[in-house]
Amino acid sequence: MKLMGSYRSPYVRRTAVSLNVMGIAYEHDPVAVFDNQDDVRPHNPLIRVPTLILDDGESLVESYAILDALDEMAGDAKRLIPASGAERRKIMKMAAIASGTMDKTVWAAYEGRFHPKEKVHRPWVEHNEEQALGGLGYLDGLAKAAGGDGWFAGGDRMSQADISGAVAFSFAALARPRLEVADKFPNLAAFSARCEAMEAFSSVTP
């Protein structure tokens, strides 16, 4: 299978880390989606990444849907979100807040990236930043409860909540340095540093 998109995208990166954690081999195409739209369009009409191309040519889009398909392929012993029940709902919610935090960080960054300086609407940037900070605060609480060597949902192994939470933090630190997220969220910063030191993360840095 081939994963399209740069690791600078938090959605691509959470997919790559998940593939690594599950031990699924893949090829990486670090296509820059804004500069190479024609490369992505045949596989994804939205021209977005991640796009995952399976060996038979079928393409999968949207990171949550890609991750769901990968969980099914990996099977019960390796899946990162349980298949059903209360534990699934719990981890889905945590991962959804992490991916929503990515959304809000991206939206705040896009406002400055794609508008001429005089057309950047500061209140909209600040609105999105405030929502991203809300998500990071929630994740910081999960990291605090997990302690120095635990996981967001409890249990003895990493779930999608941990992967997406750590990636959301690293992306916010990189994309919005003015928010000083490491100072504001020390528990999440420490949790993210612990994850980033693992091969599954350090082999797919932005």
Ligand X SMILES: N[C@@H](CCC(=O)N[C@@H](CS)C(=O)NCC(=O)O)C(=O)O
**Both structure tokens of 7:** 């690791």
Shortest Cβ distance from residue 9 to ligand X (Å)? Answer: 3
Sheet holding 59-61: strands in order across? 27-29, 2-4, 51-53, 59-61
Return the closest-CA partner of residue 99 out of 70, 47, 139, 156.
139
Q: How far apart are CA 191 and CA 58, in angstroms?
A: 36
Give the side-chain half-sphere CA count within 13 A for 47. 9
Helix (H, G, I), strand (E, B) or coil at 96: helix
> Of 33 and 200, which has the nearer Cβ to ligand X?
33
> Of 99 and 160, which has the nearer Cβ to ligand X?
99
Shortest Cβ distance from residue 54 to ligand X (Å)? Answer: 16
Other CB atoms within a 10 A radius of the CB of residue 86 amount to: 8
> Of 73 and 145, which has the nearer Cβ to ligand X?
73
What amino acid is encoded at 50 in this protein?
Answer: P
Query: Which runs of consecutive H residues, i.e. helices, occur in the chain?
Result: 10-22, 37-40, 63-74, 85-114, 122-146, 160-175, 181-184, 186-196, 199-202
Shortest Cβ distance from residue 46 to ligand X (Å)? Answer: 7
Shortest Cβ distance from residue 19 to ligand X (Å)? Answer: 14
Shortest Cβ distance from residue 81 to ligand X (Å)? Answer: 15
> Of 99 and 128, which has the nearer Cβ to ligand X?
99
> Of 39 and 62, which has the nearer Cβ to ligand X?
62
> Of 26 and 64, which has the nearer Cβ to ligand X?
64
Shortest Cβ distance from residue 15 to ligand X (Å)? Answer: 8
Q: Which residues bind ligand X (CB under 6 A)?
A: 9, 11, 33, 48-50, 62-64, 99, 106
